[in-house]
Amino acid sequence: MAEEQPKTPKEKLQVNIESAKALVKKAQAGEITDGSVKSLSQKITVAEAVLKDKNVKDEYVESMNRTLEHAISLVEKSINK
């Protein structure tokens, strides 16, 4: 059996938020303070609000997932420089 994937867009967003928070902590520990880290922190705040919103449409949640994944990749690039 394959490893379990998040089933709903909101579950996937929750996973991405946790990954993003861990990455921000890692970046701060490494004293990486470029704009990508600040941007990711702001996106985490927005994503958490989206997660709590009962009326938000799946399309918007999926869009937020893509935005968060992109921001995560930018911070990873900064860390790996």
Residue 4 lies in a domain: no
- Residue 65 counted as domain residue: yes
Domain ranges, residue 59: 9-79
Note the pLDDT tens digit of each residue in 23-72: 999 999 999 888 999 999 999 999 999 999 999 999 999 999 999 999 99
Q: Does residue 3 sit within a domain?
A: no
Is 1 inside any structural domain?
no
Lowest mean pLDDT among 3-12, 56-65, 70-79: 3-12
Q: What is the DSSP letter of 52?
A: H
Would the pTM of this model clear 0.75, i.e. be above it? yes
Domain for residue 35, yes or no?
yes
Query: Which of 78, 16, 76, 21 is CA-nearest to residue 51?
Result: 16
Structural domains of the chain, count: 1
